[in-house]
Structure 1
Amino acid sequence: MKSILNKTVLVVLFCILAFSVQAQRYKNNISDYKVPLMSGSSKLIESGAKLLTADSLQPYFKAKGYSPVNIELGTMEITPLSPGEIYRKVSEATVIVSSAGKCNEINDQGKVCDRIHIYPASGYIISSEGIVVTNYHVANGYVTKYNKDSRDAWVVMLKDGTVLPVVELLSADKANDLAILKIDTQGLELPYLNIATKDAEIGDPVFIVSHPKGYFYSFSSGMVTDKFSEIKAGQYRNTMAISADFAAGSSGAAIIDQFGNVIGTVTYTKTLQHSDDVSKTQMVLKATIPSAALLKLIQEGN
């Protein structure tokens, strides 16, 4: 009897250990995300498929003048989630948004560069039909004349490494730094996030899954620290400051409440320095666009 009991305990401990090892897997940001993004983008470009190039998009890209977006949005979630549950849910609907292309420049050895250049940012899915939200400045970074080497395709990569092409820019709002994209889902049923229909309040908890400086699918948390209006692109906009960390590469990521709803979108950081010594950083303001601006863009256009 004691022998059977000992074996049972060993089996249970083995299962717990195996589960822990699996749950605590350390990702490799290069092999798990950067390499699949480059190779998937390369396959799309070399496939001969009609892609939304920077040159083809540029004449239609504008700061305002877009019609409402015809999509059916989900309803707000009301059941609180643990941080782990939030991460699992949000990460599946968080994407990497990137321009991709070959610069075709000739190096010092006289060889043509055939490397795929990518510039990853963040975004999130709001419809299973392939509607993705990111920043206006991410879209502008693709079409601008300063982008010399990644103009062949605009792509979105899912967490599992699937690379899908952006086929249309549905809407954009420079003042609120928002852009809404349509991707070719290739028949996939995509996970998506619901958008909050009421503003978050100062003190409310917030969560972010994003890609700061190539640390793909990083998770941070904090709270709403301030709500203020500011002038951007010649007009006032509402801005929500938070304490959760994000950085370059997080542009376009969703700000999430404790129920898993989108309450905002990352827009910028601003370093606040000492007035007597600008070399001394005192804090970093982390600004986001409240979900009300996204809902208005979807429902009314701009």
Structure 2
Amino acid sequence: MNHRAGSSDGRFGLGEPRGPDFVAPPPTPVWPVDTSPAPAPPPVPESAPARRASRIMVAAILAAALTGGVAGAAGGLLTGDREAGPLAQSTAGPANGAGDLSDVAARVQPSVVSIEVRSGSSRGTGSGFVIDRAGHILTNAHVVEGGGTATVVLADRRRVTARLLGADRANDLAVLSIAASDSPPPLAFGRSADVRVGDPVLALGSPLGLAGTVTSGIVSALSREVRLGDGDRQTALQTDASINPGNSGGPLVNARGEVVGVNTAIATLSRGGSGGSIGIGFAIPVDRAVDGAQRIIR
């Protein structure tokens, strides 16, 4: 049974639980888990229902309130009046973060947008960001999978109609297009090779419809295996920057304001997949995001 996240009265929810199930070691869950060897306890008979009851399932869920449905066909062709060059990535190397990231947030925020998708009486929301001067906006495929009409809300509160160029459901990426004359400046991209555990990062987006929200944290892990979109398990960045429903598709940026990931999922202790951030979020690594966006645009 599918569980809709968006609802006709505008309330926000969480998508159908998807992705990795973690089992915390009995008797008491400890986070992080101590992986050092321990003597095995003597076997104690336990019924199947009891074993199930003692299990704490941590599911990676899509971090957006969105409508159900099918995403646009993979790929998409540009027409006529605009040409988009290759997406540029920084060659500056690792970003050594300063303590105050307020200047970074101020530079990045104008290029981050809210995305509203309406299909019938259903409404879904998510986030995205401008990636070039041709008016292309990168987001998650699951944000726009309900189809219908997409509206982009810019940082200055202007509302513009967007066209879905295409979606890559296996990598949970999609590209929207707005008029170049309406487009804010694009964000710069970093490189996956320059991202390090412990790097300070900011997550930007519209959690629960709260546009312009910025949260901070660090890169917690570089190659965490999770299931994203409709594809197989693949590696993702893990961060403790707070990510909540509605953040999906927003950028994860480093201390220079360069995009190092696309926020896409969170982990939850809830069996049903509901709940907010517990400090474990996942982002699509920047190199994969750049490659996916360029394939869609072409």
* Cα distance between partner residues in 1 of 2:205 and 2:84: 27
Once the two structures are superposed, the pairs formed by residues 51-130 of structure 1 within 5 Å of their partners are 61-62=72-73, 64=74, 70-76=84-90, 78=92, 82-100=100-118, 103=121, 118-130=123-135
* Cα distance between partner residues in 1 of 2:252 and 2:226: 19
* Cα distance between partner residues in 2 of 1:202 and 1:214: 30
Distance 1:163 1:67, change over 3 A: closer
Distance 1:282 1:261, change over 3 A: closer
SS at match of 2:280: strand
Q: Which residue of 2 aligns with 1:224?
A: 219
Distance 1:164 1:283, change over 3 A: closer
Which one of the candidate residues 189, 197, 203 is aligned to 1:195? 189
* Cα distance between partner residues in 1 of 2:215 and 2:131: 21
Contact 2:236–2:283 (CA under 8 A) maintained in structure 1: yes
Shift of 1:298: 3.1
SS at match of 2:137: strand
Q: Does 1:155 align with 2:133?
A: no
Tell me the amino acid that sits aligned with residue 182 of structure 2: L
Distance 1:282 1:154, change over 3 A: closer
- Identity, % of aligned pairs? 24
Contact 2:202–2:241 (CA under 8 A) maintained in structure 1: yes
Which one of the candidate residues 133, 139, 145 is aligned to 1:134? 139
* Cα distance between partner residues in 1 of 2:227 and 2:199: 25
* Cα distance between partner residues in 2 of 1:155 and 1:189: 13
Distance 1:75 1:96, change over 3 A: same
Which one of the candidate residues 237, 243, 246 is aligned to 2:243? 246
- How many corresponding residue pairs? 218
Output the TM-score relative to the length of structure 2.
Answer: 0.63
Contact 1:129–1:190 (CA under 8 A) maintained in structure 2: no
Q: Which runs of 5+ in 1 are unaligned?
A: 1-33, 35-57, 104-116, 144-150, 275-280
Distance 1:240 1:75, change over 3 A: closer
Shift of 1:300: 4.4
Tell me the amino acid that sits aligned with residue 124 of structure 2: Y
Normalized per residue, the structure richer in helix is 1
Distance 1:300 1:213, change over 3 A: closer
Contact 1:272–1:284 (CA under 8 A) maintained in structure 2: no
SS at match of 2:266: strand
Contact 1:209–1:218 (CA under 8 A) maintained in structure 2: yes
Contact 2:166–2:175 (CA under 8 A) maintained in structure 1: yes
* Cα distance between partner residues in 2 of 1:181 and 1:289: 18
Output the TM-score relative to the length of structure 1.
Answer: 0.62
* Cα distance between partner residues in 2 of 1:282 and 1:139: 22
Q: Which runs of 5+ in 2 are unaligned?
A: 1-9, 11-68
Q: Which residue of 2 aligns with 1:165?
A: 161
Tell me the amino acid that sits aligned with residue 95 of structure 1: V
Q: Does 1:270 align with 2:288?
A: no
SS at match of 1:127: coil
Distance 1:228 1:131, change over 3 A: same
* Cα distance between partner residues in 2 of 1:262 and 1:181: 18
* Cα distance between partner residues in 2 of 1:139 and 1:160: 22
Q: Which residue of 2 aligns with 1:51?
A: none
Once the two structures are superposed, the pairs formed by residues 26-41 of structure 1 within 5 Å of their partners are none
Q: Which residue of 2 aligns with 1:292?
A: 287
Distance 1:204 1:170, change over 3 A: same
